[in-house]
Amino acid sequence: MPHGEFPARGWQYLQFLHNFVVNPLRIKHSIILTLIMAVILFTFISCSKHKPPKITKPSSDLVEIPTKGNDEASKYLVQGIAHSRQKKYKEAVLDFNKALTLDPKRAYAYYCRGYVKNETALYSEAIDDFNVCLQFNKSDALAFNQRGYAEYKLRRYAEAHADYTIAIETNPKLSVAYYNRADLEDEQKSYDDAIKDYTKAIDLDPNDPFPYINRGNIKDILKQYDSAVEDYNRAIDLNAKYAKVYSFRGLAKYHKKDYAGAIEDFSALIALEPENQTAYVNRGMSSAALKHYQNALDDYVKATDLDSQDGKAFYDKAELERVMNLRAQSCDDYRKAGSLGFPIPATIADEYCK
């Protein structure tokens, strides 16, 4: 299975345990022991499957406002927005502070400062600014959306959901609010609701790749692999250089047993990120599934060179070498995996590698 999951040869491994533990030791109740091992093995398989990571969409940009003649507050606002776009957040906050000193009732200045505080992970302070902004403008959908994002980052999920919903009710065409609410629903495993909101975000902004990516990730969780691949295809059409999408699509293809397609995607990822260790592991797994063992081994060698502390990669490499009858190399890698803290079955240490 892809990196982070147990090798796909579950039943083969169970037979290996039976051959090297049960038969040599002549245990009287070997069938019972085998069943116990099966339960342990398949429990491990089910627990080790991982959820695809959710992609965080970049925040919506600040809107530049025109100055009002010699209005100094507006000049500082425009200057602060420029600093924010350059990611000079400290300077931006100073500009917004000056704008508010000159005009304490300028709602948009509170919004802008709250936005920058969200960008710098000062979520509680951001909420304070959005609260003041909303006192002056109770129908500011962007402020509700940004306050919801701050609440979400603070794990105040009920408050975040309420703010996203108000933002949507205030401005039903605000695609980012649907996207953010979908992220929250995804986090809470309300997958049907999340898919609906990602779909609405796509309807409102079909050229944004991020809703396609996260909707695809949910479909992968739900084992809707063909549909997930379609979403990843669309995301890649919109941004062919976004490396993570190739990883996600490769995993979905692996899950649907399109191993050749998975290899193509992991290869595309490696072309974009030549030092991506996990991509080599996953491409190696895909090659092994096609019994292209030497190609798989080459990828595992590269993966363990890139990360010499990854016990799971050494273990998977050892498993492959065992299939290739490379006993000495396999045992060396089993021992390496064990030295790095990866659990090695006693049968390997005591029987296969004795």
Q: Which residue has the higher pLDDT, 287 or 47?
A: 287
Q: Are 82 and 50 in contact (CB under 8 A)?
A: no
**pLDDT over threshold 80, residue 43:** no
- Given a cut of 70, whether residue 235 has pLDDT beyond it is yes
Q: What are 178-190's pLDDT values in tens digits? A: 999 999 999 999 9
- For residues 273-280, average pLDDT: 97
pLDDT at residue 354, rounded to an integer: 81
CA 217, CA 272: separation in Å to the nearest integer?
A: 21
pLDDT at 320: 96
> In which residue are the tokens 């530049």 written?
64
Q: Which of 6-15, 126-135, 156-165 has the least mean pLDDT?
A: 6-15
Distances from the Cα of 47 to the Cα of 4, 6, 40, angstroms? 10, 9, 11
Residue-wise over 251-288: b if at least 16 C-beta within 10 A, else e? bbbbbbebbebbbbbbebbbeeeeebbbbbbbbbbbbb
65, two tokens: 């406002």
What average pLDDT does the chain have?
85
At residue 346, the pLDDT reads: 83
pLDDT > 60? residue 266: yes
Alpha carbon 136 to its chain's center:
38
- Residues in contact with 327: Cβ distance below 8 Å, sequence separation at least 6, in sequence order: 321, 352, 353
- Say whether 90 sits in a helix, a strand or coil: helix
pLDDT given for residue 17 in this prediction: 32
* Confidence band for 64, pLDDT divided at 50, 70 and 90: low
What's residue 58's pLDDT? 54
Q: Which two tokens stand for residue 84?
A: 């924010």
- pTM here is 0.80
Does position 37 have pLDDT exceeding 70, yes or no?
A: no
Neighbouring C-beta atoms of residue 138, cutoff 10 Å: 11
What backbone phi and psi angles, to 5 degrees, belong to 130? -70, -30
